[in-house]
Structure 1
Amino acid sequence: MRRRLGMLLMLVVVAVFAAACGGASGGKEETSAEPDQETVVVKHRLGETEVVKNPQKVVVFDFGALDSLDRLGVEVAAVPQATVPAYLKKYEDSKYVNAGSLKEPDFEAISELDPDLIIISGRQQDLYEELSKIGATIFLGVDTNRYMESYTENANILAQIFDKQAEVDTALTEVEEAIKELHDQVADSDKTALIILANEGNVSAYGPASRFGIIHDVFGFTPVDSKIEVSTHGQSISFEYIAEKNPDYLFVIDRGAVVAGGTPGAKQLVENELVKKTKAYENGKIVYLDADYWYLSGGGLISVAEMVKEVGVALD
């Protein structure tokens, strides 16, 4: 009796063990049957990052990149909703995760999302290592020293990641043709220009190879002063300086119109008695540029096209 009971117990153990092995084997087969995700290695200013192609959960801090993705019809998961350009206002909707602000990301919200890709630019570059621990992170800020080359490279990186090469090629060709037409017009006019940023009662100037230097470097306007200091915040100037340089065109970007807590008022600030003596004022060539495109989201497929249009209209 004891012998028969022992044999019965042994058969039960063997059966359970076999079932367990069969279940484990089945799990491995299911895993190996799943296709490997295709990846691409992206070389960017802060390093090299392996990115999954067609990522589903994308966090975008650079509004130029968000602008491009919007043009390409690519959906994103999270953006910094503290300061969104007006023409991209749909990204303020609650369906998108609020990733914080441009300079203060919400790391907890981003981590909970478990993103496949994070896109950053200059305002977040010091946080690159920290963000890279959460998800694959790439830097796509435009390089103002080589604006169009950088803009083109960034667009092609997005094309490669999201399989949108044909759409990107079309958009780039349209911008190239518009720029050529604008450049020819500028060359024929032979006019000088000064670019200024109005910010809370102060003004700063930008020249070639600067943040807004595309007006000189790409569109072809002659700088009224070739020695303007190149810096992110521009060279602080006075209204006496503007009157002395006396540009044919004065391009104005109003920071207060687009930053949180800012107060728009560039026109009232700029058009004072000194500036009214300039050729720019006398000929109606003080041009107030859309700060959404120029200050917040430069380098995008939409924004660059609009920047070309704005300057083109100023020449008419």
Structure 2
Amino acid sequence: MISSNHFRTATAALALAASLALTAGASAQDVTVTHPQGETAISGVPEKVFVIDWAAYDNLTALGVEVSGTPGSNVPGYLADSVSENLFNVGSLFEPDFEGIAAEQPDLVIVASRSASTYPTLSEIAPTIDMSINNTDLVAGVEANIVQLGEIFGIQDRAAELVAELDAKVQEATAAAAGQGTGLVLVTNAGNLGVYGPDSRVAWIYNELAIPSVMDDVEDGDHGGDGVSFEFLLEANPDWLFVVDRDAGIGNEGAAAALLDNELMHQTTAWQNDQIIYLDPQAAYITMHGYTGLMTMLDQVIEGYNAAQ
């Protein structure tokens, strides 16, 4: 069964495509993009594209668009092979090299999420768009961004293919999880435990896959989620745990598996039934809004549920 979220996702993506097509007017290469921080006019197909967001790089790479500049650090492992050493270093996600970017005169700069605060300055340097996404409707946001990029670069057919593939993967994961019990997204951070809820960067576990959470009230604004203990996990006892190793996600040595291997965890249903799914840490924490990262995590969810059948 396809959930209402899937219909809303498809509708939003189609509406955005129609809106952009109308805005483009007489020239298919001139587009005015409406985004969270305003409107940006883009004349012609951008050739020199800088991204200050790894999810944007992920989406562009999936679409087959060549990127000219990327952040100089925190390259997600699953994208590393596609990142050339010859790309311009735009600086960090939080502190771009404004002078260097200005000197390079890019045709388009893309910010999102962590780099969104740099938009006002960058928009004075070059055409800049903010592709930030609302995590409560994450899949719809990813698909809308893909459609938008397809319009900007004149590759609408390829964008439609990616949206269809993502929709199919979400439906497959939803079907695999149906009737398989409760779940909880757990984040490990420097030896501490936290929980992510339905407003978090991994909200799609609950909102899109319809996996019921064992914890209703979650305050997960902090990087490490809403702090919990092993005693809490044993008492709440979700059927499934989805683990995000934040340490590994930000490039440090991960230790989630070792941290969870203890006497209290051994008493939980998730441990005893081998129902703990370790999500790709960088996809879950850094590039959760990227097509390939999201598809990777959905595959991990599907494999986890299928293995337990």
TM over 0.5: yes
Letter in 2 for 1:175: L
1:228 to 201, 218, 240: 218
Matched, 1:84 2:106: no
Q: Give unpaired runs (5+ residues) of structure 1.
A: 1-35
Question: TM-score, length-normalised on structure 2?
Answer: 0.86
- 1:291-302 matches, cutoff 5 A: 291-302=281-292
The verdict on how the C-alpha distance between 1:165 and 1:207 changes in structure 2, with shifts beyond 3 A counting, is: same
Q: Following the alignment from structure 2 to structure 1, what is the Cα–Cα distance between the partners of residues 173 and 82?
A: 32
- Cα deviation code 1:76-114 (max 9, x no counterpart): 110002111112114553310011111121222212211
Tell me the secondary structure at the aligned position of residue 253 of structure 1. Answer: strand
Which residue pairs with 1:16 in the alignment?
A: none
Please state how far the C-alpha of 1:68 moved relative to its aligned partner: 1.2
Q: Following the alignment from structure 2 to structure 1, what is the Cα–Cα distance between the partners of residues 34 and 222?
A: 24
Which residue pairs with 1:5 in the alignment?
A: none
Tell me the secondary structure at the aligned position of residue 204 of structure 1. Answer: strand
Question: TM-score, length-normalised on structure 1?
Answer: 0.84
Which residue pairs with 2:51 in the alignment?
A: 60
Contact 2:201/2:288 (CA < 8 Å) preserved in 1? no
Contact 2:71/2:93 (CA < 8 Å) preserved in 1? yes
RMSD: 1.7
Which range is displaced more, 206-215 or 178-187?
A: 178-187
- 1:215-254 matches, cutoff 5 A: 215-231=205-221, 233=223, 234-254=225-245
Matched, 1:96 2:79: no
Which range is displaced more, 149-158 or 178-187?
A: 178-187
Q: Following the alignment from structure 1 to structure 2, what is the Cα–Cα distance between the partners of residues 179 and 151?
A: 12
Which residue pairs with 2:299 in the alignment?
A: 309
Tell me the secondary structure at the aligned position of residue 297 of structure 1. Answer: coil
2:102 to 104, 111, 124: 111
Tell me the secondary structure at the aligned position of residue 41 of structure 1. Answer: strand
- Number of equivalent positions: 279
Letter in 2 for 1:164: I
Please state how far the C-alpha of 1:291 moved relative to its aligned partner: 1.2
Matched, 1:174 2:142: no
1:148 to 120, 139, 146: 139
Contact 2:185/2:195 (CA < 8 Å) preserved in 1? yes
- Cα deviation code 1:188-221 (max 9, x no counterpart): 32x1111011111112111113211100100121
Which range is displaced more, 123-132 or 36-45?
A: 36-45
Letter in 1 for 2:111: I
Which residue pairs with 1:274 in the alignment?
A: 264
Matched, 1:71 2:87: no
Contact 1:120/1:138 (CA < 8 Å) preserved in 2? yes
Letter in 1 for 2:50: V
Tell me the secondary structure at the aligned position of residue 187 of structure 2. Answer: strand
Letter in 2 for 1:49: T
Tell me the secondary structure at the aligned position of residue 222 of structure 1. Answer: coil
Contact 2:137/2:204 (CA < 8 Å) preserved in 1? no
Tell me the secondary structure at the aligned position of residue 125 of structure 2. Answer: coil
- Cα deviation code 1:171-193 (max 9, x no counterpart): 1111212211221222232x111
Which range is displaced more, 304-313 or 100-109?
A: 100-109
The verdict on how the C-alpha distance between 1:308 and 1:185 changes in structure 2, with shifts beyond 3 A counting, is: same
Which residue pairs with 2:246 in the alignment?
A: 255
Q: Following the alignment from structure 1 to structure 2, what is the Cα–Cα distance between the partners of residues 302 and 122?
A: 17
- Cα deviation code 1:122-181 (max 9, x no counterpart): 211221111111111111122102112211211111011011111111111112122112
How high is the sequence identity, in percent, across the aligned residues? 35
Q: Give unpaired runs (5+ residues) of structure 2.
A: 1-26
Tell me the secondary structure at the aligned position of residue 166 of structure 2. Answer: helix
